[in-house]
C-alpha cells in the first residue's frame, strides 16, 4: 500500500523560479494522480479504455516529491486531477502531506478537480487538509442524460457528494462541458441551479484530445453560440475576475453568480499561460495542446536527491512553447492530439 512520509521529501536545492522563454512565470501545476476513473464520459474516454501498468505510475511518495520540487521552484497553486483523483488508493495521504506547503506559506492553494462520485466519503478529510475550494464536473441534472454522458456514473451520488462538500464548507465551482444536442438546452437551468447554491459555473468547449470512438464534430458546440443564446435570456456582464486559469467570466445579473467560458477552440488564451501539467507517470507537458513533453520519472527515480529532477524541470520549462494549435481535423475526423484528457487531467 502506498504511503507518504511527512516532511522528509522537501527539496532545499535551489529556489530559482520557473520562467519560460516568453517571460511567463510558471506558478500553477496540475498533476494527474491516476489515469483511471470510475466514469467513462463520452468526450473523455472510450468505454474499453486500457490503463497504465501500475509500475509505470508514480507511487504516492514519488508524486509528493515531484510536486514538492515544483513548489521549491516557485509553484504557488497545485491542482490534483486525473482520471479521477479520488479513486486513487491512499489519495488522502498525499493531499494531507502536500498540505504542509500550505502551512509553510510556500503554496497559496491546494485544490482538486473531481467528478464528485467519492466526495461524500472524502469531503471532510479534504477540508481538514486545508483545501478551500474544489472543481466538480457535472454536465447535466437529468439522471438519464447523466448516465448517457458518463456511461457508468450515477447523478444521485454526485449530488450527494456536492451536498457533503458544501456542508463542510468547501467552495465549489461546477465545470460543465457544452455538448451539442445533449445539454445545450439545459444550460440555463444548470446556471440557475449552480448559482442558486452559491457555486460558480464554468462552461467548457469540447477539445479534440484522444481517440474516443465517436465523431468530435457531433459533440462540438462553440461557446460563442452558447453565449449568444444565453444572452437572450440573461443579462451577462463582462467582469475582470480571473482564477489564474483560462476562463473568461461574466456576471449573470438575474442570479448574481459568475459564469465562466473556457474556449480553447475559438479563443487563444496562451499569452497568459502560467501552468504546466504532469501525468501520473511523471511526464511533464509544457502545453495542453502540444505533444512536446519531458520525462521526470527517470531523474526522479535515478537519485534520492532532487538535483537531477530540478535540472530536468528547468530544462523542460526552457522549451515551453508559445501556444497551442488545437484544430478538429474536419476531413479525417481525427483528434488533434492522440492523448486523452484523462492523461493530462484538463
Ligand X SMILES: C[S@@+](CC[C@H](N)C(=O)[O-])C[C@H]1O[C@@H](n2cnc3c(N)ncnc32)[C@H](O)[C@@H]1O
For position 137 contacting ligand X by CB under 6 A, the verdict is yes
- C-alpha cell of 130? 486545508
**Is 82 a binder of ligand X (CB under 6 A)?**
yes
Q: Do residues 85 and 31 lie in contact, with contact meaning Cβ atoms separated by under 8 Å? A: no
- Selection from ligand SF4, ligand X, none that 34 binds (CB < 5 to 8 A by kind) is none
Which window, 60-68, 95-103, 153-161, 338-346, contacts ligand X (CB under 6 A)? 338-346
- # binding residues, ligand SF4 (CB under 6 A): 12
- Residue 175 binds which of ligand SF4, ligand X, none (CB < 5-8 A, kind-dependent): ligand X
Window of 206-214, 232-240, 278-286, 292-300 that interacts with ligand X by CB under 6 A: 206-214
Cβ proximity of 288 and 344 under 8 Å: yes
Among residues 29, 33, 37, 80, the one that binds ligand SF4 under rule CB under 6 A = 37
Contacting range for ligand X; rule: CB under 6 A; set: 46-54, 57-65, 69-77, 205-213: 205-213
Contact between 40 and ligand SF4 (CB under 6 A)? yes
Of 41-49, 56-64, 69-77, 198-206: span binding ligand SF4 (CB under 6 A) = 41-49
Q: Which helix (H) or strand (E) holds 343?
A: helix 341-344
* Sheet (strand 258-262) strand order: 236-238, 248-252, 258-262, 200-204, 171-177, 133-137, 109-114, 77-81, 28-32, 275-278, 283-285, 293-295
**Interacting residues of 144 by C-beta distance below 8 A, sequence separation 6+:** none
Q: What does the radius of gyration of the chain's CA atoms come to, in whole angstroms?
A: 19
Segment near ligand SF4 (CB under 6 A), from 8-16, 80-88, 104-112, 220-228? 80-88
CB of 111 to ligand X, least distance (A): 12
Q: Who contacts 267 (Cβ-Cβ below 8 Å, separation ≥6)? A: 248
Q: Of these, 29, 57, 120, 177, which contacts ligand X (CB under 6 A)?
A: 177
The answer to whether 248 touches 258, Cβ cutoff 8 Å, is: no
223 — phi, psi (to 5°)? Answer: -70, -20
Question: Quick check: 328 binds ligand X (CB under 6 A)?
Answer: no
Judged by CB under 6 A, does residue 230 bind ligand SF4?
no
Cα separation, 282 vs 274, whole angstroms: 19
Q: Does 93 bind ligand X (CB under 6 A)?
A: no
- Indicate which of ligand X, ligand SF4, none lies near residue 328 (CB less than 5 to 8 Å, by partner kind): none
State the binding partner of 40 from ligand SF4, ligand X, none, CB within 5 to 8 A by kind.
ligand SF4
Amino acid at each position: 500500500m502506498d504511503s507518504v512520509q511527512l516532511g522528509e521529501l522537501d527539496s532545499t536545492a535551489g529556489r530559482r523560479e520557473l520562467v519560460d522563454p516568453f517571460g511567463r512565470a510558471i506558478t500553477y501545476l496540475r498533476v494527474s494522480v491516476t489515469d483511471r476513473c470510475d466514469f467513462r464520459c463520452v468526450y473523455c474516454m472510450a468505454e474499453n479504455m486500457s490503463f497504465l501498468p501500475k509500475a509505470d505510475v508514480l507511487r504516492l511518495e514519488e508524486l509528493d516529491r515531484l510536486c514538492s520540487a515544483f513548489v521549491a521552484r516557485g509553484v504557488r497553486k497545485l491542482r490534483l486531477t486525473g482520471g479521477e483523483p479520488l479513486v486513487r488508493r491512499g489519495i488522502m495521504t498525499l493531499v494531507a502531506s502536500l498540505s504542509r506547503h500550505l502551512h509553510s506559506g510556500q503554496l497559496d492553494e491546494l485544490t482538486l478537480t473531481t467528478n464528485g462520485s467519492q466526495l461524500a466519503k472524502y469531503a471532510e478529510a479534504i477540508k481538514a487538509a486545508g483545501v478551500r475550494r474544489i472543481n466538480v464536473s457535472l454536465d447535466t441534472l437529468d439522471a438519464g442524460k447523466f448516465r448517457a454522458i458518463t456511461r457508468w456514473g450515477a447523478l444521485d451520488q454526485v449530488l450527494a457528494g456536492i451536498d457533503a462538500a458544501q456542508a463542510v464548507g468547501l467552495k465549489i465551482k461546477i465545470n460543465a462541458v457544452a455538448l451539442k444536442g445533449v445539454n445545450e438546452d439545459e444550460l440555463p437551468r444548470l446556471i440557475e441551479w449552480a448559482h442558486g447554491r452559491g457555486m460558480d459555473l464554468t462552461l467548457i468547449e469540447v477539445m479534440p484530445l484522444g481517440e474516443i470512438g465517436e465523431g468530435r464534430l457531433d459533440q462540438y458546440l462553440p461557446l460563442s453560440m452558447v453565449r449568444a443564446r444565453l444572452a437572450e435570456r440573461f443579462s451577462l456582464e463582462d467582469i475582470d475576475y480571473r482564477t489564474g486559469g483560462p476562463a473568461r467570466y461574466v456576471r449573470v445579473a438575474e442570479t448574481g453568480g459568475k459564469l465562466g467560458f473556457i474556449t480553447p477552440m475559438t479563443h487563444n488564451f496562451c499569452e497568459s499561460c502560467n501552468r504546466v501539467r504532469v501525468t501520473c507517470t511523471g511526464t511533464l507537458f509544457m502545453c495542453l495542446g502540444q505533444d512536446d513533453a519531458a520525462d521526470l520519472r527517470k531523474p526522479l527515480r535515478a537519485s534520492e536527491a532532487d538535483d537531477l529532477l530540478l535540472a530536468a524541470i528547468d530544462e523542460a520549462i526552457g522549451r515551453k512553447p508559445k501556444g497551442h494549435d488545437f484544430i478538429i481535423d474536419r476531413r479525417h475526423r481525427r483528434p488533434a492530439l492522440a492523448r486523452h484528457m484523462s492523461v493530462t487531467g484538463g
